[in-house]
Amino acid sequence: MNGQTSYDYIIIGGGSAGCVLANRLSEDPNVSVCLLEAGGPDRSPFIHVPLGLARGMMVPAFNWMFMSKPQERLRDRQIFMPRGKTLGGSSSINGMIYIRGNQQDYDNWAAAGNQGWGWRDVLPYFVVSENNETYGENPRHGTGGLLNVTYINPPNPVLETFFDAVENFQYRRNPNFNSGIQEGFGLYQVTQKNGRRHSTATAFLKPAKNRKNLTIITDALVAKINVENGTASGIDFIHKGQSRSLIANKEVLLSAGSIVSPKILLQSGIGPGAELQKLGIHTVLDLPGVGKNLQDHANAIVQHKTKSRVLYGMSWGAVPRQALSVFEYLFFRRGMFGSNMVEGGGFMKTNPNIAHPDIQFILTPGYRKMGEIVSAGHGFQLSAILLRPKSRGEITLTSADPQDNPVIDPKFFAEESDLDTLLLGLKEARKFCSAKEMNIYNGFELLPGEDVKTDAQLRDYVLNTSSAIFHPVGTCKMGSDRLAVVDDRLRLRGIEGLRIVDASIMPTIISGNTNAPTIMIAEKAADMIKEDARR
């Protein structure tokens, strides 16, 4: 850390949004930018080798390792809620799937009064980021952007078998889920380059890190945003055990994610006044929506164990092939070690009368027991994912101590209709996995299991096993209602010089994986920040 104590822009969080902001704002050599990240550098091979995500997801050095509050509907189980704690944030530990969501998601944001957030408004920001290896010469895709988007090379053969199976159930193939047509089944695009993860730290921060006007501080735990006369004036943080402060000349930009961003606001006295007072935190601004409106995607899985070694897994018979895979990856950057293990899937409507898909499927071409990093055997797994939950949870504090974890309460299935919809998706997933085309792998259903047959049994199975897909959003929502935390330019309502730029601003969850939309939010925010600075 250098001796500088003031910067034009202070960015809290070096994750999916923060790295984008750091790059775009430091493009102007006349402004100074400081990026603070609670974790360390992103040097581990578990981050950069795609198959390493199974291990990387479980390493506290670059994962907050959050657990939810016991979930009442889920038999009082605590749900794992991983979040990235390293440069690149969750883009350094996620499944690398590049999905923008459904166009209607953004049009719904705009219809709710968030000007400039409709699909036509946000599409240019998806395009400007992108270097799409497959669809670059397409009005909906970009070439020359900083974020590389491609397909797994090559996908596991089970994917093609699976697509044949779903076609026989009258579901269409979809070659590109980001084309404007979401429904159907196909391969997922991924944020990889030359067989390696292309996190936002690699794509956006690495090209900018040597700029003289950009300072990057890792292992920096932000304790508080300071507010003077209604304006964010700077921050207090802990660095290598020492308390330090920085002054913001222009703005503080909070990009710590949907769990940590509301936590930092609450620690700073910004949030529901009555809750803050109970913890002895002075209320700087009574803002009731901070930490509320938490949404996440819940899943239910079908798992088959197989004799076939075509599927990824651990067995003595597969050792020669795995040894060859090491060679293949080291010299050609392809094969099993280049797999994100979530190579394809699809989207479907549970009701033909709804506007767009409400269930997503993700096929994993490998076998792993629940709770284990590596398991003996081979198989495949199909996850059915609830895309637009009605249930809403919250983030709260246990104390004023910034080193204490927050309370994360997603309130999964608080709305019974969420369970009803996911149950329909689970039934389809089970049907797909048992299709005659899949019999070539000599498998059997391990989960839910042959004894689980009735709707009541399937509901119990979901409640006993369902987990999160790690897409928390919405805890500092954009809007103009009572629970809105930021306006449609992402400025905190009631305090000058403070914006929130991450997935927490989403009023409603995106119908798909959330990393690409978070990058888009940061691209759009950077433009708005520059525009406002010129006024």
Determine the Cα–Cα distance for residues 154 and 420; give it in Å rounded to an integer: 36
Determine the Cα–Cα distance for residues 406 and 81; give it in Å rounded to an integer: 12
CA distances to 135, 158, 344 from 177, in Å: 12, 19, 11
Determine the Cα–Cα distance for residues 424 and 372; give it in Å rounded to an integer: 27
Helix (H, G, I), strand (E, B) or coil at 39: coil
Q: Among residues 48, 304, 378, 471, which one is catalytic? A: 471
304 carries an active-site annotation? no
Q: Output the six-digit token pair for 71.
A: 């979930």
CA distances to 76, 267, 279, 366, 370 from 68, in Å: 10, 19, 20, 27, 17
Q: Is residue 236 a contact partner of residue 484, using CB atoms and an 8 Å limit?
A: no
Determine the Cα–Cα distance for residues 18 and 21; give it in Å rounded to an integer: 5
**Rounded to an integer, what is the distance from CA 27 to the centroid of its chain?**
26
Determine the Cα–Cα distance for residues 111 and 181; give it in Å rounded to an integer: 21
Determine the Cα–Cα distance for residues 396 and 60; give it in Å rounded to an integer: 22
Supply the DSSP symbol for 380.
E
Determine the Cα–Cα distance for residues 231 and 498; give it in Å rounded to an integer: 8
How many distinct helices (H) and strands (E) make up the chain? Answer: 13, 26
Catalytic residue set: 471
